[in-house]
Each structure stands twice: as structure tokens, then as C-alpha cells.
Amino acid sequence: MTIYADNAATTKMSRTAIDAMLPYMEEIYGNPSSLHSVGQRANEALADARKRIAACLGCETREIIFTSGGSEADNHAITSAAYLGEKQGKKHIISTAFEHHAVLHTLKRLEKEGFEITLLDVHENGLITAKQVSDAIRPDTCLVTVMYANNEIGTIQPIEEIGAVCRERGVLFHTDAVQAAGHLHIDVKAQNIDMLSLSAHKFHGPKGIGALYAKRGIRLTNLIEGGAQEQGRRAGTENIPAIMGMAAALEEACAHIDENAAKVSALRDRLIAGLAEIPHGILNGDAVHRLPGNVNFCFEGIEGESLLLLLDDKGVYASSGSACTSGSLDPSHVLLAIGRPHEIAHGSLRLTLSEETTAEEVDYVIQAVRNVVEYLRGMSPVWRDLASGKQQFVTK
Amino acid sequence: MALYSDKVMDHFRNPRNVGVIEDADGVGEVGNAKCGDIMKIYLKIDDDTITDVKFETFGCGSAIASSSMATELIKGKPVSEAMELTNKAVAEALDGLPAHKLHCSVLAEEAIKAALKDYYDKNGIAYDESQFPDCASCGHCDV
């Protein structure tokens, strides 16, 4: 039995998405910029895909720009807003400590260019509040960028309220909705969102394609110079097959969003309940304001990479925020941001489910995790010290 | 997974010499939970020979495999030979480690030496301090 529980990393493509792509590889392979029929057919498809994606987000067609994925969309949105702000003498940006690196590293670069960055602290439950944003806004603030839902611990931020604060104060608001799109309702107008990033492979679409929504009137800075594609805002021949796959996948996800959320969150809660029975473990992130498919635990006395390798042997594909899996010396910045000590953060496990996950699989995962945690604790000197009382447990 | 050699995976999946020696003649613990790896080595030494060795490790796959291999390399050997164990020998015996995991083999060498130092201390045996580098020598703990 193999169980794919790493859907926050990427998803399996849906049949609908694959079928939507194939004609644009085999028959309608023209360049949308070409004047001949096969080019123009591709161009029509492109316009249609843009319209359908805009409909899913509640925006206008021309407000959608296709990108190579979520990271590019984040880079594009943040860089553009920063340079717009700079022109008005506003060089302060607000974000949070647990954003994706596509956001954090872009902000790091802007900081080197002279921008001032405020990273809001995240509460232990993995949430920030609109009040925190409001309190941090200054006359020279040009952008607030807060993720819709966190990629590691799945917590859902009060986007609509944050958007309202930004709108009231006249500050641009961008949200990295890479984990949310296709899983949570998005209506950029109602939610006061000025810019939003999404990535197709997080909702059963293809990899290497994403979109940026930018409200009409926001002048974007080109990251890629070249031809006049995307209304001159993003050069390069459009990846039509991937765009068609993304449009189909997003439409399908949005059409079933409530039933999928109900089904997957029931499985999530079953998994959380099962893992909560393992002593000295703790759920990371709020249990309620949480993506339907996200489960993230820390287990004391063990290290995440060895946990993943042994789960892999049992056919369970998961991920972890331990330093060993990140390739750096520090464990996940998200777990540190919610106040988990290093020692505990190394023992993290993220399991992210999809509509295809079954209750039987969830039960198998619970048993597998239980066995592996117990086995690793059995050879851990840290666990020995905790169990003998030489060291204090952090969790219950 | 192609991350590690078959040898590493074998020693990770079936670690040799896991456990504790209650009446150990030398015990060494190195690493830091903050960094994500701790190794503890227990030695039983009779007549200047390592007659038994056990380990406990908190850490990643290569940390567990490195501990296991290091214990295999010194089991039954004279103390003087165990003192010669290098991280390179551990890594080579495992058919190599990824570059960013080499510190695991360093930790294994240091854990063995820490246990031997403990044995020397307990038995009043003189030794050269310079033979025992600080745990922080790999730089991994400087966070």
C-alpha cells in the first residue's frame, strides 16, 4: 500500500486537467501570437482559459497574468508594489514571519535595496490578526502581503478583514493563495484583495504554471522582458497546454469546493484525533482555522527525517520541517515562528490529504506513525532523558 | 530513496548495536538537540579491548547509520585502534554520505572518542588532550 500524504508539496494531476492539455500538444500547438489559424485557435483558448480562471476568483479577465508558478507570481506582485510605493516615497512593507520563502526572500532582496520590512509575529495558534496589521501600518507603508493559508501548518488567515484594513488605509494588499486556491473560496472583490498568487499543481493541475491576479490600475514591473505577451507585463510564449490544464483543474476544484472541503476535513480530523493519542506530541496550528487537508504534528524525542524515511518504507509519503530535510541548520521557520523550540521543531511531521484519500488510508497512516515514533524513541537518548525525568517534556 | 547509499539505508533500517550498557566502562554523548542530532555511545572494555558497544541516537537517517557503522568498526578492537577511527572511515564504510550529511560521520567519531575519554578518565589513564577535538569542530552546532 502506498499513501500519498504530501498534497501541500504537490498533487497528482486530475484526469480532467490532463485531458484539457492534450489537444494543445497534439493538434492546437500554434503560438498564440501567430496570425495563422492554428495560432489563432491557441489564442482563443488562451483567452477562454483566462476568462474561466477570472470567474473562479471573481475578477476581470484582464486582471489575470499567467506566470511560471506561485513563486514568480509572488515575486512579481511584491516587487511591483514595492516599486510603485518607492515612486511615492513609500518604502515600508508589512508581512508575517511565516510566509513562504518566495515572499520572504523577495522581501530580503527589497530590504537590501533600502526598503524597510516589518514581519508580524505569529500567534502560537498560527494566526495573525487584522489588528496587528492595522497597528503596523505607517504613512510610508506601500504593501501588506499576508498568505491566505500557511503551507506547513495550514492555518487560514483572516484575509477579508486584513484586506478591509488595507483598503481603508489606502495600502495595497497582496495574498499568497498558493495553498488556498481550489481549496478555499476566493472572491477578490469581496475579500478586498488587490493582488493574489496561485499555482496550478496545488489543485491537481500541472506544474510550472500559475497566475497572478492584479487589480486593474496596478502598474506591474516586468520581471521578464521580451515580447508583448500578457499585455506586455510578462514576456515569453504562453505555456498553452499548462494554462488549459490549470483552468480545467481550477474550475473543477471550485465546482466541488464545499463537498471536497467537507470530505477532506473529516479525514483530517480523524487523522488528528488518531495522532493526538500518541503521547508527547502536539498539533501545530489552530485546529479549526485550518486547510481541509493539513495535519502537522511535532513529536518529542525524535527527528523528522528518520521519521519520513521509515514512513516511506511503510509506503507513507509525508514531509517534515526538520533541519535535515530542509538542508539548513535550522528547522522550519514556520514552526519557530509559532514558538516551537528547536528541539521539538526537528520532530515535525506534515501529512496533507486530498479528495482521493480514504478513511482506511488515514487509519493505516495513524498506525504507521505510531509504530515509527515508538521505534525511534526507543533508540533516542533524548527520549530516554525525557522519559526518565532528567529532562522536562514540553508537551503533554 | 536515492538520497542515501544502500549501505546507509541498511544501517539505518537495521541498526547494529542499538541500546544501553548499564555498567559501561565509558560513556560519551555528543551533539545538541537544538541542532537535531545527539549520539550516545556506551563501551564495555576488558583487557584493553572493546568487548561490547551500544549506541542511542536522536537524529536523521545518516546520523543513525553513522552511529551503527561506527560501533561496528570498533567492536572487538583494541582501544588504541578505536582511537584511530576517523569520520572519513565511517563515511567510506557507508559507501559515502551526501556532502551536507558528512557532519553525521564527524559526530560518530566524536561520540566514540568521548566515550573513550570517559573510560580514560574513570581509570586514571593519561592521554593527550589534543586527541579529543571539541564537539563543535564540525561547526554544525553554531546556531
Please tell me the predicted confidence (pLDDT) of residue A80.
Answer: 98
Taking contacts as CB-CB distances below 8 angstroms, the residues of chain A near B5 are none
Instruction: Give me the mean pLDDT over the A297-317 stretch.
Output: 97
DSSP B117-140: HHHHHHTT----GGGS--GGGGST
- Set of chain B residues whose Cβ sits within 8 Å of the Cβ of A330: 143
Q: What share of chain A has pLDDT > 90, as a percent?
A: 96
Task: Please name the member of A313, A343, A380 whose beta carbon is closest to the beta carbon of B13.
Answer: A313
* pLDDT above 90 (res A326): no
Least confident of A83-87, A255-259, A306-310, A324-328: A324-328
- Give yes or no for residue A328 having a pLDDT over 80: no
Residue A77 has pLDDT above 50, yes or no: yes
Q: Is any Cβ of chain B less than 8 angstroms from the Cβ of A106?
A: no
A219 shares contact with chain B (CB less than 8 Å): no
Contact yes or no for B12 and A309 at CB 8 A: yes
Mean pLDDT for the stretch of residues A316-330: 81
**By the CB < 8 Å criterion, does A384 face chain B?**
yes
What's the rounded Cα separation, in Å, for the pair A3 and A295? 15
Give the pLDDT confidence score for residue A322 in this predicted structure: 82
Q: Do the strands A210-214 and A141-145 form a parallel or antiparallel pair, or are they unpaired?
A: unpaired
A331 touches chain B (CB under 8 A): yes
Global confidence as pTM: 0.95
d(CA A126, CA A65): 30
Which candidate from B20, B35, B61 shows the least CB-CB separation from A305? B61
CB of A329 less than 8 A from some CB of B: yes
What are the tens digits of pLDDT across the range B56-70? 999 999 999 999 999
Asked if the C-beta of B37 comes within 8 angstroms of chain A's C-beta atoms, the answer is yes
CATH 3.40.50.1820 fits B6-122, yes or no: no
Q: What is the pLDDT of residue B136?
A: 54
Spatial separation of the C-alpha atoms in residues B64 and B46, rounded to whole Å: 26
- In one-letter notation, the amino acid at residue A84 is L
pLDDT of B137 higher than 60:
no
Contact A170, A88 (CB under 8 A): no
Q: Is residue B1's pLDDT more than 70?
A: no
Lowest average pLDDT, out of A127-141, A156-170, A210-224, A312-326, goes to A312-326
User: What residues of B act catalytically?
Assistant: 35, 104
**Cβ pair A306:B59 closer than 8 A:** yes
Q: Are A306 and B60 inside 8 Å of each other by CB?
A: yes
The answer, for B99 touching chain A at a CB cutoff of 8 Å, is no
Smallest Cβ–Cβ distance between B38 and the set A304, A306, A381 belongs to A381
The beta-carbon neighbor of A322 closest among B18, B36, B55 is B36
Q: How far apart are the CA of A321 and the nearest CA of chain B, in angstroms? A: 11
pLDDT at A147 > cutoff 80: yes
Give the residue, A291 or B1, on which the prediction is more confident: A291
**How far apart (Å, rounded) are the C-alpha atoms in residues B102 and A103?**
31
What's the pLDDT score for residue B34? 83
pLDDT of residue A138 exceeding 60: yes
Contact state of A380 with B56 under an 8 Å Cβ cutoff: yes
Mean pLDDT of chain A: 97
The string of DSSP letters for A258-321 reads HHHHHHHHHHHHHHHHHHHTSTTEEE-S-SSSB-TTEEEEEETT--HHHHHHHHHHTTEE-B--
Q: Report the b/e string of B97-122 with b at 16+ CB within 10 A.
A: beeebbbbbbbbbbbbbbbbbbbbee
**Residues A82 and A142 sit within 8 Å (Cβ to Cβ):** yes
CA distances from A297 to A145, A186, A371, A386 (A): 26, 28, 15, 18
Q: What is the pLDDT of residue A27?
A: 98
Tell whether the model's pLDDT for residue B142 goes beyond 70.
no
Query: Which residues of chain B have a CB within 8 Å of the CB of A304?
Result: 60
Return the percentage of chain A with pLDDT > 70, whole number: 99
CB contact under 8 A, A306 and B64: yes
Residue B135: which pLDDT band, with cuts at 50, 70 and 90? Answer: low
Nearest CA in chain B to A348: B36
CB atoms within 10 A of CB A88: 9
State the pLDDT confidence band at A396, using cuts at 50, 70 and 90.
confident
Q: Domains (ranges, CATH) in chain A? A: 15-255 (3.40.640.10), 257-387 (3.90.1150.10)
Position B139 confidence tier, pLDDT thresholds 50, 70, 90: low
Instruction: Please compute the mean of the pLDDT values over residues A186-194 and round it to a whole number.
Output: 98
Contacts A380 to B, Cβ<8 Å: 38, 56-58
Q: How confident is the model at residue B36 (pLDDT cuts 50, 70, 90)?
A: confident
State the pLDDT at residue B134: 64
A331 vs B18, B19, B36: nearest CB: B36
**How large is the average pLDDT for residues A69-73?**
98
CB of A390 within 8 Å of any CB in chain B? no
Q: Do residue B58 and residue A305 have CB atoms under 8 angstroms apart?
A: no
Please indicate if any CB of chain B lies within 8 Å of the CB of A342.
yes
Q: How far apart, in whole angstroms, are the C-alpha atoms of residue A365 and residue B127?
A: 51
Per the rule left: phi > 0, alpha: psi between -120 and 50, beta: everything else, A280 is left
Tell me whether 0.85 is exceeded by the ipTM.
yes
> Which range has the worst mean pLDDT, A125-134, A363-372, B95-104?
B95-104
pLDDT at B143: 41
The alpha-carbon gap from B57 to the nearest alpha carbon of chain A, in Å, equals 5
CA distance B108 to chain A (A): 14
> Which pLDDT does position B131 carry in this prediction?
81
Give me chain B's average pLDDT, please: 91
